[in-house]
A = this chain, B = another copy of it.
C-alpha cells in the first residue's frame, strides 16, 4: 500500500497525479491525502478574511483557526478541492471517495486550544484555536473502503472525541495514518523538486537522506518544509520504510517520485 500526500499549491499537476494514481492502483492499494492551501487563500481573500499564519516559539508556522477560518477551511478543502479531485479520478475510472477526518471519525484529534505564537519578537498566547492533533485513525473504515475497491481521497479537518470539528496539519495526520495502516511508502508532492540544499536553487536537490540525518536538516528548514521534515522523521520512526519528497508539477509526479526523483528518506 502507498500513501500519496499531495500539497495544496496552485502549481500541482493534478491531471498527471490522477493519471499516475489510475495506473498505480492496478498494482497496489493507494490512499490519497490532499491539501488546498491555494484555494483556501483565494477564498479567504475573496471573503475579506485573510488566512492568518502564525509562527510558534520553536519556529514552526501554522494557521490560526477561529470559527470563521474553520468555515473557510471546510469550504475550500472538503467542498471545492476534495470533490474536484474525486471527480478527476472518477473521470479516469477510479472509484474515488472523498472524506474528511470528520467522516466516520476517520481522524480523531486531541484539541489544542492554546496556541503560543511569536509576534513582533514577543510570545503571545491565543486561546480557542480550533485545531487538534490526530491521535486515532479509523482503520476499519479505510480497510472496508479499500477492500471494496474504493480509493479514499482524504483531507483535514479532523474531529475531537466530543464531535467538534478541528483543523489539523495534513502532513502530520498523514503520518499517523500511514503508521496506523502499516503503510511502507509515503510520497509527499509539493511545489519543489525535493529537499533542497539551497531553496533558491532547484538543482541542489538532496537525493537521499538517512533517517538519522534528518535532524541535521531541521534547523535550516523554514516554514512548511520544517513541518514536512518533522513528518518524515516521525514516519520513519513509526515503521514507514521510505518517505519521498518530490515535485508535484512534473508530467508524471508519482511515477517520477517512485523512479527516484526528489529526495528519498529511508
Contacting residues, chain B, for A83 (C-beta < 8 A): 74, 78, 100, 102-103, 157, 165
Contacting residues, chain B, for A141 (C-beta < 8 A): 97, 148, 150
Task: Considering the complex, give the chain B residue whose CB is closest to the CB of A92.
Answer: B163
A25 nearest CB across to chain B (Å): 14
Whether B78 pairs with A76 at a CB distance below 8 angstroms is no
Contacting residues, chain B, for A74 (C-beta < 8 A): 79-80, 83-84
Whether A75 pairs with B140 at a CB distance below 8 angstroms is no
Bound together, the chains give a CA A84 to CA B105 distance in angstroms of: 13
Query: Secondary structure at chain A's binding surface: helix, strand, loop or mixed?
Result: helix
Q: Does A245 contact B (CB under 8 A)?
A: no
- What 0/1 readout, one digit per residue, does chain A (153-169) give for beta carbons within 8 Å of chain B? 00001010011110000
From B78, B88, B90, A79 is in contact (CB under 8 Å) with B78
Contacting residues, chain B, for A46 (C-beta < 8 A): 47
Given contacts A80-B79, A165-B83, contact A96 B103 (CB under 8 A): yes
Number of interface residues of A (CB under 8 A): 42
Interface residues of A in 75-120 (CB under 8 A from B): 75-80, 82-84, 86-92, 95-100, 102-105
Bound together, the chains give a CA A69 to CA B102 distance in angstroms of: 26
Q: Does A43 contact B (CB under 8 A)?
A: yes
Whether A80 pairs with B71 at a CB distance below 8 angstroms is yes
* Additional A-B contacts beyond A75-B75, A76-B79 (16; CB < 8 A): A75-B76, A78-B82, A79-B79, A86-B103, A87-B163, A87-B164, A88-B163, A89-B163, A90-B102, A90-B163, A91-B164, A92-B163, A97-B103, A97-B141, A98-B102, A144-B144
